[in-house]
Amino acid sequence: MKRVQFEHSAVPYLFIAPQILIISIFFLWPAAQAVYQSFLLEDAFGMSSQFVWFRNFEDVLSSASWSRSAIFTVIFSVLVAVISIAISLFLAVRADEVIRGAKSYRTLLMWGYAIAPPVAGLLGNMMFNPLMGDLYKAFNSFGFEFNHIQNANDAAFVVILIAVWKQVSVNFIFFLSGLQGIPKSVQEAATLDCKSAERRFWTITFPLLAPTTFFLLVINLTYAFFETFGIIDVSTKGSPGGATATLVYKVYVDGFIGADLGGSSAQSVLLMIMVSVLTVFQFRFIERKVHY
C-alpha cells in the first residue's frame, strides 16, 4: 500500500461505489442465489421447492455423469495446458533467436489471441467434418479409423486440439517477452560455456523462465476450465454421450437445457470451491513474485 494516502470521508466511497453496485447486483446476488438454490429441490413443474440440505450435493457427487465429467475436465485441462505450453515455448525460443523477420514471425504467431473460442470451435468442426474435413479425411486415409462422432477418445482429441490451437498465441506472447527479458550478457556467457543449444536451454533458459511457465500453467488451467465452453458448444457439444463435457459445460446443460436448478447450482458451488483454491494459489504466487 501507499505510504501517503488521502484521508477523506466521502470521496473514496464515491469512487468505489459504481464497482460495488455492479458487483452487488450482478455478482453477489446471483452467487448467493446459487448457494441458496443448491440446498433446494424443485418439483418437476418448478412450482414449489423444499429445503433439502446437502441432498443435491450428494446426488451430484454420487452421479456417474458428474464424476465422469470431472475426470474428463482434469485430464483435458492438464493436457491442454501442457501441450500448448510446450508448443509455444518451443516456438518462442526459436522466435527469440531469429534476427531476420523476427517481427513478422511474432505477428504471425500472436494474432490468434483475438480468435473467439466458438470461432475456433467452428474451424475445428470444419476441419473434422466427415463430409469434407481435410483432417478427418487425412486421418482416415492414413489408416486410423478416426470417428469423433462415435468414439469418445477421438472426440476428446478434437476438442483438445482446438483448445490447444486457440491457446498457443497467448503462451507464445508471454514466453517471448520472458525470453527477451533475459539479459543478452547471460545468454552470451552461456554460449561461451556451452556449445549445445539444447543443453543451454535446459540449464540456463528454462530455469530462468520457470516463473513464467508456472504462471502460464495456472492461466492455462483456468482457460481450459472456463473459456473452452464456446469451443465445446460449437464442436462436439459434449458428445458422444457427455464424454467431452467439461464441468462448466455440464452446469449449463443441466441448468438451462435440463432445467435441474438445484443440481446445477450444487455443481456451481462445487466449481466455486475448486476455483477458489486455484485462484488463491495463483494470487499468492503472483503477489510473491512481483516486488514493488
Partner 1 sequence: MYQSKWRIFTNHTILILGALFMIMPVWIAFASSTHTREFIFQNGLQFWPGGHMIDNYGAILFDPSATKGRVTALEMLFNSMVLGLGFAIGKVIISMMAAYAIVYFRFKLAVPLFWVIFSTLLLPLEVRIVPSYEVVANLGLLNTYTGLILPLIASATGTFFFRQFYRSVPDELLEAARLDGAGPIRFFIDILVPLSVTMIAAIFIIMFVVGWNQYLWPLLMTTDDQLYTIVIGIKQVYNSLYEGGQIPQFPKAFALTIMATIPPVLVVVIFQRMFIKGLVETEK
Residues 72-111 that bind partner 1 (CB under 8 A): 87, 90-91, 94-95, 97-98, 101, 105-111
By rule CB under 8 A, what count of residues binds partner 1? Answer: 101
Helix-helix angle 64-97:206-222, to 10 degrees: 140
The residue (of 62 and 107) whose beta carbon lies closer to partner 1 is 107
The reply on whether position 206 binds partner 1 by CB under 8 A is no
When the beta carbons of 45 and 292 are compared against partner 1, the nearer one is 292
| Site track 218-257 with partner 1 (rule: CB under 8 A), x = hit | -x------x--xx--xx-------------x--xx--xx-
Answer yes or no whether residue 6 interacts with partner 1 by CB under 8 A: yes
Question: Could you give the CA distance from residue 72 to residue 80 in angstroms, rounded to a whole number?
Answer: 12
Q: Tell me how far apart the alpha carbons of residues 139 and 147 are, in angstroms, rounded to a whole number.
A: 10
Does 71 bind partner 1 (CB under 8 A)? Our answer is no
Among 113, 144, 202, 214, binds partner 1 (CB under 8 A): 113
C-alpha distances in angstroms, 122 versus 23, 43, 181?
Answer: 33, 37, 36
23 near partner 1, rule: CB under 8 A: yes
The answer to whether 126 contacts partner 1 (rule: CB under 8 A) is yes
How far apart are alpha carbons 170 and 175 in whole angstroms? 9
Return contacts of 109-116, CB within 8 angstroms, 24+ apart.
109/168, 109/169, 109/172, 110/169, 110/172, 110/173, 111/169, 112/165, 112/166, 112/168, 112/169, 113/169, 113/170, 113/173, 115/166, 116/230
Find the binding residues for partner 1 in span 144-183 (CB under 8 A): 165, 168-170, 173-174, 177
Amino acid at 202: W
Amino acid at 176: L
Helix H or strand E segment including 289: helix 261-289
Taking CB under 8 A as the rule, does residue 27 contact partner 1?
yes
Minimum Å gap between C-beta 73 and partner 1 is 13
* Residues in 127-146 that interact with partner 1 by CB under 8 A: 127, 131-134, 137
Interactions with partner 1, residue window 30-59 (CB under 8 A): 30-31, 33-34, 37
